């Protein structure tokens, strides 16, 4: 028999022990009157039923879930007096625990026993001191948030999985989600880092070095992703070019060297400087450890049409080429083997100058295809579709990068009538569980919309808590952001409030589980033509609510396809607890991200992208689609065909391949997911059967970004269930 595990309140994973259920029942049984007592055999029968229920979950249940099962079984067998005594005992124990709510959690973190936190973030190593310090601070923040900062009904809704209040571990501080860093302003006009004035750099390599310092500082002052554009580095290529040409000309004085010869030598040295500069960004970002215990969650944007003239575009192309070549190579692990790094994330814009073979920059697109086949990045933005979707109040379309994995800003025009994206940010996210809305309605459509509105009102109030937490924050809280150009140039002591209104920043209504919601209400996948109208109506309703709230508050509420990581498992457990196991709806340890087609649904890449494009357009605050592909390194033309389809049909998409390595036997292929003796999903090398995760390198697309530190059981099952689309 497989050894079953449970999750204790501290987060520690321990073996399941049926005797503990029996002992708790015996204690309660002794407390009731003799006529209300049940036999020892009946106690064991209840424990047996609960054990079977736990086994049927296919995952480690939480101790609270087990106690709920015991209560339900006692009620079902009409043991009301015993049930009351058991509930009273449980309640008293809860009161005792509430005297100090964080000690056990923090101690389990320090001893690396907290299984839930270990798998909370696929890019954090929980054994490292800096990560533990961040998690410890997070536990204190969550405790303050739950007990003092948030209304009780929002906390209860979060706990029950009706909504998810994201990043509660940072809520106690006045911190926001993610940024589009104004690197251009900081490099051209100077900035201040740790009290030191940093002036405009005089070379490309220095600009790259300063950029990495800015990235680290920004990452330490917010908790989400940040994006920079390579276009902002491009002007420094020509600064270095002129500097190098002057040096070469001086070296060749008296040798009658022609201008062409001087230029040839200078361009060769310039290429070397570009290589060193990009290497600085690549290696600094990978090796930097910020105050939250991980490498900066940074996205690098590559958009040729962002250049202001042809010379700058050509220089930008050199930077993009070097960035792609270095990412194809990868980084070396501790064994000296080239592997796939998680960051920086790369985004490449498909545009008229690079999308067909007859265009001057198609060579970059071919290089991007090779990089995707080898390293899973870059992701792709279609300039054509984005110009259609992102239209400002002047009627002009714009193409710009997202922040982190998928969070897109809304179009914004400043007081001078000019579009502005860099220097803007997102205030935070609250996600609605669409599956719970559906299940709570019992398939009654009228009731569905009523419950939906009630839950959306709850989300609105929770989002306003996020907004109000930021209100009144002084620029001194994060000088790099608010005073020295990353987001603004406010005065010391000035509140950031004016940046929270009028569309300068956004705040996100997230959503999860559209597939399961539609499946329950219609008995069909949302890809079915009969079910699709209901799915689109759900999306439209959430957008309408965002418009209503925006008009009321003068804040840019925006609908956001939540990139569930640990939350997918949490929502699944909450749904099973509330509604049981419903085939096709709650029978997995995960629910589907945002509007995505279910990971196990057989569908080809082009049909999937075309279908999801309609939903992506209705998710203006952030969305990404993907197709799952096999090893494509020997089939680059197929990758290019998908990229061309993306350009014509969908704003933002990616290709998911595999990039793994076993340090024990040297296997370079796909590490597989298998069940261990206890039924838990683990990673295993198919060649030598190594299961030691510390001796393998696994990289998988988690939910828009690449994860390299493994995942909880829900996300692992989702990864295992993925089918190929190509």
Q: At 425, which helix (H) or strand (E)?
A: strand 424-433
Q: Of 376, 386, 399, 403, which one is the catalytic site residue?
A: 403
Q: Is 363 a catalytic residue?
A: no
Q: Of 205, 221, 292, 426, which one is the catalytic site residue?
A: 426
Task: Give the distance from CA 18 to its chain's centroid.
Answer: 37
Residue 288 in contact with residue 280, Cβ under 8 Å? Answer: no
Q: Of 115, 184, 321, 565, which one is the catalytic site residue?
A: 565
Q: Of 186, 399, 405, 521, which one is the catalytic site residue?
A: 405
The DSSP bridge partners found for residue 675 are 681
Q: Of 4, 54, 175, 178, which one is the catalytic site residue?
A: 178
Helices 636-649 and 362-375 cross at an angle (nearest 10°) of 110
Q: Of 161, 513, 561, 704, which one is the catalytic site residue?
A: 704
Helices 445-470 and 152-160 cross at an angle (nearest 10°) of 120
Q: Is 407 a catalytic residue?
A: yes
Q: Of 560, 626, 652, 705, which one is the catalytic site residue?
A: 560
CA 481, 487, 492, 496 torsion: positive or negative? negative
Q: At 179, which helix (H) or strand (E)?
A: strand 178-180
Residue 427 in contact with residue 489, Cβ under 8 Å? Answer: no
Q: Is 426 a catalytic residue?
A: yes
Helix (H, G, I), strand (E, B) or coil at 139: helix
- Give me 711's structure tokens: 């995942």
Please report where in the chains the tokens 């689109």 appear, as a residue: 536
Rounded Cα–Cα distance for residues 318 and 241 (Å): 13
Helix (H, G, I), strand (E, B) or coil at 484: coil
Residue 344 in contact with residue 285, Cβ under 8 Å? Answer: yes
Q: Of 182, 205, 407, 441, which one is the catalytic site residue?
A: 407
Q: What is the largest CA-CA distance in the chain?
A: 113
Residue 607 in contact with residue 628, Cβ under 8 Å? Answer: no
Rounded Cα–Cα distance for residues 412 and 560 (Å): 17
Q: Is 622 a catalytic residue?
A: no
Q: At 135, which helix (H) or strand (E)?
A: helix 129-144
DSSP 35-81: GG---HHHHHHHHHHHHHHHHHTSSPPBHHHHHHHHHHHHHHTT-HH
CA 585, 588, 590, 594 torsion: positive or negative? negative
Query: Which residues have a Cβ under 8 Å from the Cβ of 36 and sit 6 or more positions away?
Result: 79, 81, 82
A 10 A CB-CB count for 724 gives 12
H helices, E strands: number in the chain: 24, 23
Helices 204-219 and 259-287 cross at an angle (nearest 10°) of 20
Strands (DSSP E) found in 493-615: 506-512, 556-561
To 10 degrees, the CA torsion angle through 624, 390, 324, 634? Answer: 50
| β-bridge pairing 424-433 and 506-512 | parallel
Exposure pattern of 528-540 as b/e (b: 16+ CB <10 Å)? Answer: eeebbebbbebbe
Q: Of 108, 122, 177, 593, which one is the catalytic site residue?
A: 177
Q: Is 4 a catalytic residue?
A: no
Instruction: Give catalytic residue positions.
Output: 177-178, 403, 405, 407, 426, 560, 565, 704
């Amino acid at each position: 028999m497989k050894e079953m595990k449970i999750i204790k309140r501290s987060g520690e994973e321990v073996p399941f022990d049926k005797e503990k259920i029996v002992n708790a029942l015996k204690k309660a049984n002794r407390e009731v009157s003799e006529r209300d007592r049940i036999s020892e055999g009946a106690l064991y029968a209840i424990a047996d039923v609960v054990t079977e229920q736990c086994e049927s979950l296919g995952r480690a249940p939480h101790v609270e879930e087990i106690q709920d099962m015991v209560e339900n079984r006692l009620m079902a067998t009409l043991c009301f007096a015993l049930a009351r005594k058991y509930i009273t005992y449980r309640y008293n124990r809860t009161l005792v625990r509430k005297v100090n709510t964080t000690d056990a959690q923090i101690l389990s973190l320090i001893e690396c026993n907290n299984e839930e936190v270990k798998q909370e973030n696929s890019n954090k190593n929980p054994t490292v001191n800096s990560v533990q310090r961040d998690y410890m601070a997070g536990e204190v923040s969550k405790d303050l948030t739950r007990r003092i900062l948030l209304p009780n009904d929002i906390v209860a809704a979060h706990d029950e999985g009706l909504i998810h209040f994201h990043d509660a571990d940072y809520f106690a501080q006045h911190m926001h989600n993610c940024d589009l860093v104004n690197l251009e302003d900081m490099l051209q006009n100077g900035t201040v880092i740790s009290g030191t004035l940093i002036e405009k750099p005089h070379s490309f390599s220095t600009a790259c070095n300063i950029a990495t310092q800015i990235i680290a500082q920004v990452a330490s002052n917010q908790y989400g992703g940040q994006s920079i554009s390579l276009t902002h580095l491009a002007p420094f290529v020509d600064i270095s070019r002129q500097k190098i040409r002057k040096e070469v000309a001086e070296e060749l004085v008296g040798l009658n060297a022609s201008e062409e010869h001087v230029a040839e030598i200078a361009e060769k040295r310039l290429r070397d400087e570009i290589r060193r500069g990009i290497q600085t960004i690549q290696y600094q970002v990978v090796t930097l450890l910020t105050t939250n215990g991980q490498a900066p969650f940074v996205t690098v944007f590559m958009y040729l049409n962002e250049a202001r003239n042809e010379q700058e575009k050509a220089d930008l192309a050199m930077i993009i080429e070097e960035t792609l070549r270095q990412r194809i190579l990868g980084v070396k692990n501790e064994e000296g083997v080239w592997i796939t790094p998680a960051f920086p994330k790369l985004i490449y814009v498909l545009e008229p100058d690079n999308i067909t073979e007859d265009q001057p920059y198609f060579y970059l697109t071919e290089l991007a295809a090779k990089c995707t086949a080898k390293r899973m990045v870059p992701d792709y933005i279609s300039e054509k579709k984005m110009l259609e979707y992102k239209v400002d109040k002047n009627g002009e379309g714009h193409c710009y990068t997202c922040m982190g994995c998928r969070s897109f800003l809304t179009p914004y025009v400043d007081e001078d009538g000019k579009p502005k994206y860099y220097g803007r940010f997102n205030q935070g996210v609250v996600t609605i569980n669409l599956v719970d809305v559906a299940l709570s309605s019992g398939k009654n459509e009228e009731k569905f919309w009523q419950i939906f509105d009630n839950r959306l009102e709850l989300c609105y109030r929770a989002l306003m808590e996020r907004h109000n937490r930021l209100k009144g924050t002084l620029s001194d809280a994060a000088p790099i952001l608010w005073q020295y150009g990353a987001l603004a140039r406010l005065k010391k002591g000035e509140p950031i409030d004016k940046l929270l209104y009028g569309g300068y920043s956004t705040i996100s209504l997230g959503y999860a589980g559209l597939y399961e919601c539609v499946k329950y209400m219609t008995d069909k996948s949302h890809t079915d033509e009969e079910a699709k109208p209901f799915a689109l109506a759900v999306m439209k309703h959430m957008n309408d609510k965002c418009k209503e709230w925006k008009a009321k508050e003068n804040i840019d509420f925006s609908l956001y396809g939540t990139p569930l990581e640990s939350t997918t498992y949490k929502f699944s457990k909450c749904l099973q607890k509330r509604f049981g196991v419903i085939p096709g709806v709650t029978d997995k340890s995960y629910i589907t991200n945002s509007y995505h087609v279910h990971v196990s649904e057989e569908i080809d890449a082009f049909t999937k992208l075309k279908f999801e494009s309609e939903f992506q357009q209705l998710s203006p605050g952030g969305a990404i689609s993907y197709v799952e592909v096999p090893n494509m390194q020997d089939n680059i033309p197929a990758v290019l065909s998908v990229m061309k389809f993306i350009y014509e049909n969908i704003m933002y998409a990616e290709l998911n391949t595999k990039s793994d390595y076993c340090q024990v036997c040297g296997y370079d292929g796909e590490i597989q997911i298998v069940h261990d003796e206890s039924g838990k999903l683990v990673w295993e090398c198919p060649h030598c059967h190594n299961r030691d995760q510390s001796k393998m390198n696994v990289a998988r697309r988690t939910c828009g970004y690449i994860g390299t530190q493994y995942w909880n059981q829900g996300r692992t099952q989702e990864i295992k269930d993925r089918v190929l689309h190509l």
